A = this chain, B = another copy of it.
Amino acid sequence: MRGAFRLGSAAMRFFSDNAAPAHPKVLEAIASANRIDTAYDGDERSRRLDGAFSELFGTEVRAFWVTTGTAANCLALAALCPPYRAILCHKDAHIEVDEAGAPGFFTGGAKLVHVPGDGAKIDPEAIAETCDAIRNDVHQVQPAAISITNATEYGLAYRADEVAAIGELAKQRRLALHMDGARLANALVSTGDALADMTWRAGVQALSFGFVKNGGLNAEALILFDTELADEIAVRRKRAGHLLSKGRYLAVQLLAMLEGDLWLDNARAANAAAQALATAAPDRLVYPVEANEIFLKVSSDEAERLRAAGFDFYDWGPGQIRLVTSWDQQGDALDRLAAAIAAL
């Protein structure tokens, strides 16, 4: 559980990948879009997104820019789950604990039902058991969708075959499958799996494809593999106040991130930084480090010493801290933190 936080004066921050700046190429792209163009998503750059992401995924998709992961997640869930049904997710899922109840708002009151699992990761057996415990009558809320986060909120990565197993169960039970991919790039780099295998080939219908934590400025992508949802999503996006009038400035951010696989390069950098820290304290790891988040067993005294040395991070429940590395993590701060941890 995340504690309160204040930014220190030091630049040696490891508290969130949201703290990192945007990649210079993203800023350049925004500047390059600063011309007269059609409003909303009628501009030429926004119109290119479907094609660009279809090429990336190797299948026909519909791609929507949005400004937050919460918007991407909840627009998708609203299209996948009617108000009177439930979404299966882990109790530590971002949609459950960090979105202010946004799924309830966007869906019109659908429930989130918790599936147990270590490190916020769930598997088909646990999902099936959770479903089986719901009486099939009108008194209990029936599930309509599964939502998984990859990488998870505790930095674990689902492999493509693990997602596919969930996708198979979803298909059998007529449940939709949504992936919160706020850190999908980190999971992909970590597992080495192919993007297509991790998503649509595994049965994912809608993907919140994160870019902001990975070097973007304020553009995320909502990717629909079930392209029949596109018209509804377009309306829901507008209705939620998420159709920006100068959408071209979002579209170019996404295109810049795809250009030359910048999104993968950034994720590799963040993951490598995380591995450097993990290596420094193998005995303190709460979970294996499979993305860019590191959870360490660190006493509050030890945590204070790290902070005194100039490092910023979150406490994460009693005796644990969370470190997050970013695409731009400087080697120097990293080396010093690794040393400081090793020396505790």
Contact = CB atoms under 8 A, between A and B. Distances in A.
Given A21-B36, A111-B104, A238 B83 contact: no
A249 B36 contact: no
Interface of A: 1-5, 7, 11, 13, 16, 18-22, 24, 27, 30-31, 34-40, 42, 66-72, 74-75, 82-86, 97-102, 104-111, 133, 135, 137-142, 212-213, 217-218, 232, 234-246, 249-250
B39 A34 contact: no
A250 B99 CA distance: 20
Number of copies: 4
Nearest to A210: B245
Given A36-B20, A135-B1, A140-B97, A236 B67 contact: no
Contacts of A100: 84, 138-141, 235, 238-239, 243
Contacts of A232: 82, 84
A109 B111 contact: no
Contact of A111 (B30, B75, B101, B106): B101
Nearest to A106: B241
Contact of A243 (B68, B213, B217, B245): B68
Given A1-B135, A99-B238, A241-B68, A39 B19 contact: yes
Given A108-B83, A212-B245, A238 B31 contact: no
A36 B16 CA distance: 10
A66 B218 contact: no
Nearest to A135: B2
A194 to B, nearest CB: 28
B105 A107 contact: no
A110 B101 CA distance: 7
A220 to B, nearest CB: 9
Given A4-B137, A13-B36, A104-B111, 8 more contacts: A68-B245, A83-B108, A101-B111, A109-B109, A138-B234, A138-B238, A138-B243, A241-B242
A218 B239 contact: no
Contact of A18 (B141, B242, B245): B245
A127 B250 CA distance: 39
Contact of A105 (B13, B212, B240): B240
7 contacts: A7-B37, A7-B42, A27-B34, A100-B141, A100-B243, A101-B109, A102-B239
Contacts of A104: 83, 104, 108-111
Nearest to A133: B1
Max count, chain B CB within 10 A of own CB: residue among A34, A100, A212, A234:
A100
Which 10 residue pairs are nearest across A and B when measured between Cβ atoms? A104-B109, A71-B241, A18-B39, A70-B241, A108-B108, A18-B245, A100-B238, A100-B239, A138-B238, A7-B38
Contact of A249 (B39, B97, B217): B217
Given A138-B100, A141-B101, A241-B102, A236 B36 contact: no
Max count, chain B CB within 10 A of own CB: residue among A21, A40, A85:
A21
